[in-house]
Amino acid sequence: MRVLRAVGGIFLLAALGCSSSSSRQVQAKAANAIAVAANQAASLLVDQYRKELGKCLAFDTRLEFAMCVGKVNNDWARVRADWADLADLQNQWATALEKGSSEVEVYAQAVLKAYCDIAPDLPPGIALPAVAGVVCGAP
Amino acid sequence: MTRQEIAETLELFSKVAESLGALSPQLMPAMEVAGALLLIGADLEGKGLDSIQHITRAISLDDPMNQAQDDVNKEADKKFGDKN
């Protein structure tokens, strides 16, 4: 079943590419796409964070190591806070979907904004995956 | 794409995936989520939001990042010992 679920992701992108006449559905689809991208990005971000921490092991003393780790954590603090906001909104969006709430679109828009808010806070050289249909900074 | 078509396609690709061996454990959570979202997408296309049954939840960064820090700290303990 795990494998069955895994390959499902391949087709999700195709499903998301379909047009819809409903603004509500478009918003929900965009939020879907962000949920996928964010959950894929999570592994990438953790890997990058681990690499940055690993570089601190090159120092010769524990003090230098600790200072390096402190700097890395400082660099990532905003991202972690942004991510917590995104995760919270994603969960609220998911709850709204499950309940058939009229607030689905509101949460979907909030998810879009939260995803876009992460990018400026990422450490240099790190980027989130592009999401089809989502343009950060668009009016 | 109907549910039946999705089921048939997933079944086909599950056989392909099995033939390729196990996927990376790190990828599995995200891909499971993606698989669940596929069903949402199908519902969105076919029946609208009211029929959605399978919803994903976000993946936290905190646990894996804390684990990464613990791992690096252990490496540091090996390198520097107990000296401060």
Give which of B12, B16, B32, B6 is closest to A11, Cα–Cα: B6
- Residue B52, pLDDT score: 36
The verdict on A125 touching B (C-beta cutoff 8 Å) is: no
CA distance A138 to B29: 31
Closest Cα in chain B to A53: B72
> What is the residue-averaged pLDDT of chain B?
62
**In this complex, do A6 and B32 lie within 8 Å of one another by their Cβ atoms?**
yes
Q: What is the pTM of this model?
A: 0.62
Residue A5: pLDDT band by 50, 70, 90 thresholds? Answer: very low
| A46: chain B residues, CB-CB within 8 Å | 61, 64-65, 68
Mean pLDDT of B43-57: 45
Give which of B36, B35, B55 is closest to A95, Cα–Cα: B55
| A86: chain B residues, CB-CB within 8 Å | 58
Helical H runs in chain A? Answer: 2-16, 23-55, 62-99, 104-118
Report which listed range, A24-33, A108-117, B54-63, is most confident.
Answer: A108-117
Residue B27 above 60 pLDDT? no
Among A3-7, A59-63, A81-85, the least confident range: A3-7
User: How close, in Å, is residue A134 to chain B by CA atoms?
Assistant: 16
User: Can you read off the two tokens belonging to residue B17?
Assistant: 């995936």
Helix (H) or strand (E) holding A18: none
User: How close, in Å, is residue B44 to chain A by CA atoms?
Assistant: 7
The three state secondary structure string of B14-30 is HHHHHHHCCCCCCCHHH
Enumerate residues 6+ apart whose C-beta is below 8 A from A24: A104, A105, B49
Closest Cα in chain B to A69: B69
| Closest by Cβ to A38, choosing from B38, B45, B58 | B58
The verdict on A27 touching B (C-beta cutoff 8 Å) is: no
Mean pLDDT of B40-61: 52
